[in-house]
Structure 1
Amino acid sequence: MIDSAGFLMAGGQSVASERIQGVDDNMERSHYHEYYELYYLEYGNRYHMINEHIYSIQSGEFILFPPYVMHHSYGDSGVAFKRLLVYFTPDTILVPEIKLALENAPGVYRPEKKDSLIIHQLLKEILKEQENGDCYSKETMQMLLNQLLIKLARQSGEPIKPEQSSRISQILHYLHLNYNDNITLNDLAARFYISPYYLCREFKRYTNSTIIHYVNNLRIIQAQRLFQETDKTITDISREVGFSNVTHFNRIFKSLLGMSPSQSRKQGRPNLLPTRYSESTRPSLPEQNQ
């Protein structure tokens, strides 16, 4: 299943929406965007892996993914779901205080039923305007989005807790803190008192990614941030994010994003491709106390 809203964003749209329903339509691996994603679950139950944590959401609940946050979603085998999402760039947020509130707010929302219905209706109106496509649709979508974001910023309560921590989630947390170190499979396995074989197997089952691919993604995310926020050279940035030489950095960057670091920097924004989905069996929750 192809993420059509992602193609709209890649084509230069600042706000894009899409509704999808299905069974066993699970993401192959974690991904990230340079824009926000608001994921509203209209029906069913889904698991969302956000960085090193897993969250479970039910119908009427939603998640806001900020830019450059690794995430993917999946569901139990045979369980149908329907979701409505909207992507939007940071510059579409009209009120700076709202942007700050969203940056500091928990990403998982379980609103009261009346609030959930209002947010759902706003999301449906955004999708309707996109489908109409008249001369004022873009402006209307942005106005509706900001009305929705104000509603989100007013949400309060305790942060939603992730599912029970596991050894693999602890390993993911370690990688997010130490991605720029020289991380080897044997050292990582020894640190967490497990065999390299078990580590590789469980990491793949949990993330649908190899350890090196996951770490490389973390490094490239940080490199993109440094391109936008600093004037450091590409060589200096490649070393800062953990690559031993700039040639290797260039090769990994291009393999993941389809362009060189210098090309990406000249464009002024990353060239992240829209996510593709596969009907693969969802990754299992890691077993406890292994």
Structure 2
Amino acid sequence: MEKRKYGNTDMQVSILGFGGAEIGGEDEGTVDRLLGSALDAGLNLIDTAECYGRSEELIGKTLAGRRDDYYLFTKCGHASGLDFADWDPVLLEKSIDRSLKRLNTGYVDVIHLHSCSEEILRRGEVIRVLEKAKEAGKTRYIGYSGDRNDALYAVQTGLFDSLETSLNIADQEMIDLTLDEAVSRGMGITAKRPIANAAWAFESFAETDYPYIYWKRLQELNYGFLDDVQHGVEVALRFTLSTPGVHTAIVGTRNPDRWVQNAALLEKGKLPSDLYQQIRSRWHETAGADWVGQT
């Protein structure tokens, strides 16, 4: 699988990464098959978070013997069972230590602040916690995970090595808002939700369902290539990874065969420039002022 240098870091990351949000409620055997198949298919990046159920613990149990085979990203900021308020600096310190214990490792490659607001970022305390973790060898790099103007401020601080943010055919705000700034600062860029939850494949969603916003936007965008679900997945994934500056896209799945299938979709490489520009133009013609990045 193609690899790209992750910004100014020394990491060469696979263009697809494993998103650990969906495995938090799975059994150990299932996760072992999922992660094993991902690494065997050439993925070398696993992304998780403190609030993804048992995700960190299951990764730590099933991949204890393969730590040198992948880069490991996690996030902090939410209490998730610890007796502190979200974003309390003491919470962050304890959360990082808990993550390392769960992940069965002495360090992670990147710790991201998990959707931290600009207001909290401006205080500086949470950033300092990550800097101290880096100084202590608990993480090699530090990053910000989030969207909208919060992400823009995080990028503009110049203090982060990595940006993890939403980008797909139904969520393109970051291309106009944060991308150029992040690229100019040499940040590694990870795209979240790169296929928009394949929302077009469903007849409807309840308004409270997370994919509903993407589904509703896609009704208005009316991309012709979505008429065929599988072709739509291919175009959507290639669109995200064709965006200049994006290094990797994290995908979650419960299907061990998905990685080989996704790798095959990407064999054609980047989208033709005319199709890429058609998707961008359609977005600019259709997107409302409230079509912001989905955190």
The answer, yes or no, to whether TM exceeds 0.5 is: no
Tell which structure's C-alpha radius of gyration is larger.
1
Q: Which has the higher contact order (CA 8 A, sep 6+)?
A: 1
In the superposition, the TM-score normalised over structure 2's length comes to: 0.26
